[in-house]
Amino acid sequence: MANDIRPQPGILDIALYEGGAAHVAGVSNVVKLSSNENPFGPSDRARDAYLRAVHALHRYPSTDHAVLRQAIAEVHGLDAGRVICGVGSDEIIGLLCQAYAGPGDEVVHTEHGFLMYRIYALAAGATPVSVPERERTADIDAILAACNRRTRIVFLANPNNPTGTMVGAGELQRLAERLPRQAILVLDGAYAEYVAGYDGGAALADARENVVMTRTFSKIYGLGGLRVGWGYGPRAVIDVLNRVRGPFNLSTPALEAAEAAVRDQDHVARCRAENARMRGWLAEALAEFGVPSDTSLANFILARFADAAEAEAADAHLKAQGLIVRQVGSYGLPHCLRITVGDEASCRRVAHAIGQFKGAR
Ligand SMILES: *Cc1c(COP(=O)(O)O)cnc(C)c1O
């Protein structure tokens, strides 16, 4: 039966986001290093809070997330009234696009930037604009050159996924200062906790009327399965996002576990230190086998191979041993593999397998 049922323009241009693989046919005991998850999982206090929440499952959750926002604000020295919590930072990214970008508007992201920026821009009917990077690092001048009177949002992950590189505070400030008046700079700090001494863009978002910072509990906090993220920005922007946000977007167990997690900064510090140690070790081990990577500031490294064919063969070799990493052809990096920094045993297995692979060629 013929009909005229069509989705909004842009939606059929969305390529489905694929999460990191978790299984290999015929191999048990796999190590999943494809989604930048924390190998140590969440704080014990977060697990306990999650279990306690079972007693309140018949109650609707909080709509204003006041307790979690207060905890986030205390830990980060921010204004709780300017924090918004979402179903992962993905939801915050989606709300920003929905509220600020539509048909005829442009949403800027970097060449090897996070795929969700493009997906949410298209979902809102806006036009995503990809800006070239320089040596797999964001190029602030190129971003500014891509901005015009149609630009509504500029997304920049710092450190970036999947490159692991970042730009300095001075560059971020310059970008924020020179943006067109109608544009918001969104600093995605999904990996900020992995960078000692970096505030994720909090001070800039606190000081400026055109900067929003997004953060997540999915990476260093080890709570990817719960889906909690947050944003911080100008009061006027947060107010707009709250109007669009579903009132019960976060469940009670998610809210309570996240609050306990953010209050356990010792767990965060331990995970940051162990990640830095193994990240350095892994990068050096692969470099010795002739597989270079840029200096990563996150919880993964982007291993570069000679070409796409070699990267694919290396991936197959790893997979056969139950080591699941991420192919990043969809990020314009078909000659690379993104490898999450796992625990020490996993890193040693990856290095050993890549050594075997390169030795056999
Ligand atoms: C993992 C990741 C996120 C986090 O997404 P959640 O929805 O919070 O799980 C956001 N941005 C980037 C760049 C990421 O890599």
Reduced to 3 states (helix: H, G, I; strand: E, B; else coil), residue 278 is helix
CA 109 – CA 107 distance, rounded (Å): 7
Q: Is residue 3 part of a domain?
A: no
Q: What is the atom index within ligand 1 of the atom nearest the CA of 217?
A: 8
Given pLDDT bands bounded at 50, 70 and 90, which one contains residue 25? confident
How many A from CA of 223 to the centre of ligand 1? 12
Pair (49, 187) in one structural domain: yes
Pair (203, 294) in one structural domain: no
How many A from CA of 120 to the centre of ligand 1? 13
What is the helix (H) or strand (E) element at residue 155, kind and residue range?
Answer: strand 151-157
Provide the b/e sequence for 120-145 (b: ≥16 CB within 10 Å). Answer: bbbbbbbbbbebebeebbbbbeebbe
Residue 10: how many CA atoms within 13 Å on its side-chain side? 20
Q: pLDDT tens digits, residue range 234-281?
A: 999 999 999 999 999 999 999 999 999 999 999 999 999 999 999 999
Pair (58, 31) in one structural domain: no
Pair (102, 51) in one structural domain: yes
| Cα angle value 153/193/20 (rounded, 5°) | 75
Q: Taking 90 as the threshold, does the pLDDT of residue 26 lie above it?
A: no
Pair (171, 303) in one structural domain: no
Q: Taking 80 as the threshold, does the pLDDT of residue 134 lie above it?
A: yes
Pair (189, 168) in one structural domain: yes
Q: What does DSSP assign to residue 24?
A: B
340 lines ligand 1 (CB under 6 A): no
How many A from CA of 91 to the centre of ligand 1? 10
Residue nearest to atom 11 of ligand 1 (CA): 190
CA 85 – CA 202 distance, rounded (Å): 15
Residue nearest to atom 10 of ligand 1 (CA): 190
Q: What does DSSP assign to residue 299?
A: S
Q: Taking 80 as the threshold, does the pLDDT of residue 345 lie above it?
A: yes
Q: Taking 90 as the threshold, does the pLDDT of residue 289 lie above it?
A: yes
Which is it for strands 127-131 and 106-110: parallel, antiparallel or unpaired? parallel
Which range of residues forms the domain containing residue 101?
44-263
- pLDDT of 349: 97
Q: What is the atom index within ligand 1 of the atom nearest the CA of 113?
A: 13
Q: What is the CATH number of the domain that holds 338?
A: 3.90.1150.10
Give the list of residues 6+ apart from residue 20 with CB closer than 8 angstroms, or none: 32, 34, 35, 36, 324, 326
Residue nearest to atom 3 of ligand 1 (CA): 190
How many A from CA of 67 to the centre of ligand 1? 23
Pair (71, 182) in one structural domain: yes
Q: Is residue 11 part of a domain?
A: no
Q: Taking 80 as the threshold, does the pLDDT of residue 227 lie above it?
A: yes
Pair (117, 34) in one structural domain: no
Q: Are 189 and 215 in contact (CB under 8 A)?
A: yes
Q: What is the atom index within ligand 1 of the atom nearest the CA of 219?
A: 1
Pull the structure tokens for residue 341: 């920094």
Q: What is the atom index within ligand 1 of the atom nearest the CA of 162?
A: 15
38 lines ligand 1 (CB under 6 A): no
Pair (281, 212) in one structural domain: no
Q: How far apart are the first and last CA of the chain?
A: 57
How many A from CA of 164 to the centre of ligand 1? 13
Computed over every residue of the chain, the mean pLDDT equals 97
**pLDDT above 90 coverage of the chain, percent:** 95
Given pLDDT bands bounded at 50, 70 and 90, which one contains residue 29? confident
Q: Taking 90 as the threshold, does the pLDDT of residue 148 lie above it?
A: yes
Residue 200, sorted as left (phi over 0), alpha (psi -120 to 50) or beta, turns out to be left
How many A from CA of 135 to the centre of ligand 1? 22
Pocket test for ligand 1, best of 17, 33, 89 (most atoms within 8 A of CB): 89
200 lines ligand 1 (CB under 6 A): no
- Of the candidates 216, 246, 263, which is a domain's last residue? 263
165 lines ligand 1 (CB under 6 A): no
Pocket test for ligand 1, best of 160, 191, 219 (most atoms within 8 A of CB): 219
- pLDDT of 21: 85
Q: Is the previous residue joined to 42 through a cis bond, with omega within 30 degrees of 0?
A: no
Q: Are 276 and 122 in contact (CB under 8 A)?
A: no
Alpha carbon 236 to chain centroid, angstroms: 24
Reduced to 3 states (helix: H, G, I; strand: E, B; else coil), residue 303 is strand
Pair (255, 326) in one structural domain: no
- Of the candidates 263, 286, 313, which is a domain's last residue? 263
Q: How many CB atoms lie within 10 A of CB 269?
A: 13
Q: What is the CATH number of the domain that holds 160?
A: 3.40.640.10
Q: Taking 90 as the threshold, does the pLDDT of residue 20 lie above it?
A: no
Pair (247, 143) in one structural domain: yes
CA 135 – CA 243 distance, rounded (Å): 40
Which is it for strands 106-110 and 300-304: parallel, antiparallel or unpaired? unpaired
Q: Taking 80 as the threshold, does the pLDDT of residue 113 lie above it?
A: yes
Pair (209, 78) in one structural domain: yes
Q: Taking 90 as the threshold, does the pLDDT of residue 91 lie above it?
A: yes
